[in-house]
């Protein structure tokens, strides 16, 4: 689902090249179809502590603290960014339909993480419920956790699975990744981990997922490759809010300077492209003139290695 390469919209294309494009378009269509973001347009139960009239119910600060706890637990259990992002989404939807008391926020967070792990992970985790109880300092029991899972499912009409900003991010990176500006698999994971860590911020989390993913791409890639992405979105009738994208970008940019500094610099400056161009130029000289400019390669030059 997350593999494949985007094909540019040029006239000269073979028939076989249209297959990956269709697959990427279908993947994006499936992600859009799973969106459940109606709650973001409605009035939320979650308000800042200073704005809330009742301190017994979860505030924005409580929500962000719970999300940090989810992130810490997920990191210790080596859970993927898409699992954490789905957990945040389910958690926020529940908070929107229910006024949750502060004393129950931790067991609710654990229940959301347990449910989303069942959706996203291929294999069941042994003693996962006990791990969550332990991480919460045994402030709730396994029975409490199971009851909360049932409550979450019933309140959300058993519609747990949904698209997240991480789903959009991976799909968009596949589209943008036509050529050398495409990050490696490890860089993709690093970018996804950065984005999901920032979803702890309520201001970012309540923005539409597609615009959040586009804002993250703008922070990471700059303007490189965005033309292909906008062209595909327009071709398939997906509209985006430029102002919301810029808002997401402004919320992410201060933190990206620290966490994505190296990746962003390589991608935006095109250093990977320049390296590839240098190698191509050197090989071309070798083929045309029978000589190659020395390139440091350990204790030997590249030319010496080629001659061997």
Tens digit of each residue's pLDDT (9 = 90 or more) over 152-183: 999 998 988 899 999 999 988 887 775 444 66
Q: Is 300 helix (H, G, I), strand (E, B) or coil?
A: strand
Q: Which residue has the tokens 């378009």?
A: 25
Domain ranges of the chain: 15-34+163-269, 38-155, 271-307
Is 80's pLDDT higher than 80?
A: yes
Tens digit of each residue's pLDDT (9 = 90 or more) over 193-243: 999 999 999 999 999 999 999 999 888 877 666 777 777 777 777 888 889
Q: How many CB atoms lie within 10 A of CB 173?
A: 24
Q: Which residue has the tokens 């989404």?
A: 89
What is residue 164's predicted lDDT score, i.e. its pLDDT?
94
Is 285's pLDDT higher than 70?
A: no
Architecture per CATH, 38-155: Orthogonal Bundle (1.10)
Cross-strand bridge partners of residue 301: 296
Cα 246 to the center of its chain, rounded Å: 17
User: Do residues 259 and 193 make contact, with C-beta atoms less than 8 angstroms apart?
Assistant: no
More confident residue, 280 or 191: 191
Percent of the chain with pLDDT over 70: 70
Distance CA 305, CA 299 (A): 10
User: Do residues 174 and 3 make contact, with C-beta atoms less than 8 angstroms apart?
Assistant: yes
Q: Which two tokens stand for residue 260?
A: 């994505």
Cα 28 to the center of its chain, rounded Å: 14
Cα 225 to the center of its chain, rounded Å: 18
| Entry pTM | 0.75
What is residue 190's predicted lDDT score, i.e. its pLDDT?
87
């Amino acid at each position: 689902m997350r593999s494949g390469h985007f094909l540019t919209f040029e006239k000269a294309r073979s028939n076989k090249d249209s297959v990956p494009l269709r697959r990427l378009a279908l993947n994006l269509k499936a992600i859009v179809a799973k969106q459940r973001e109606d709650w973001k347009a409605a009035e939320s139960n979650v308000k800042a502590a200073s704005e809330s009239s009742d301190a017994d119910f979860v505030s924005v600060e409580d929500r962000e603290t719970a999300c940090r706890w989810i992130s810490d637990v997920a990191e210790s259990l080596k859970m993927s960014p898409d699992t954490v992002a789905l957990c945040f989404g389910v958690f926020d939807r529940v908070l929107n339909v229910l006024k949750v008391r502060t004393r129950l926020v931790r067991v609710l967070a654990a229940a959301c993480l347990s449910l989303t792990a069942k959706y996203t992970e291929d294999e069941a985790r042994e003693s996962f419920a006990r791990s969550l109880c332990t991480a919460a300092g045994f402030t709730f029991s396994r029975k409490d956790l199971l009851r909360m899972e049932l409550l979450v499912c019933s309140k959300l009409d058993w519609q747990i699975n949904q698209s997240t900003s991480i789903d959009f991010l991976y799909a968009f990176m596949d589209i943008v990744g036509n050529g050398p500006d495409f990050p490696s698999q490890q860089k993709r994971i690093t970018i996804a981990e950065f984005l999901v860590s920032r979803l702890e911020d309520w201001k970012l989390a309540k923005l539409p997922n597609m615009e959040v993913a586009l804002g993250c791409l703008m922070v990471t890639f700059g303007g490189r490759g965005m033309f292909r992405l906008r062209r595909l979105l327009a071709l398939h009738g997906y509209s985006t809010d430029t102002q919301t994208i810029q808002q997401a970008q402004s919320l992410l940019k201060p933190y990206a300077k620290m966490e994505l500094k190296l990746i962003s610099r390589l991608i935006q400056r095109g250093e990977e492209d320049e390296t590839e161009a240098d190698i191509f130029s050197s090989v071309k000289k070798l083929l045309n003139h029978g000589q190659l400019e020395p390139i440091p390669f350990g204790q030997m030059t590249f030319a010496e290695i080629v001659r061997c």
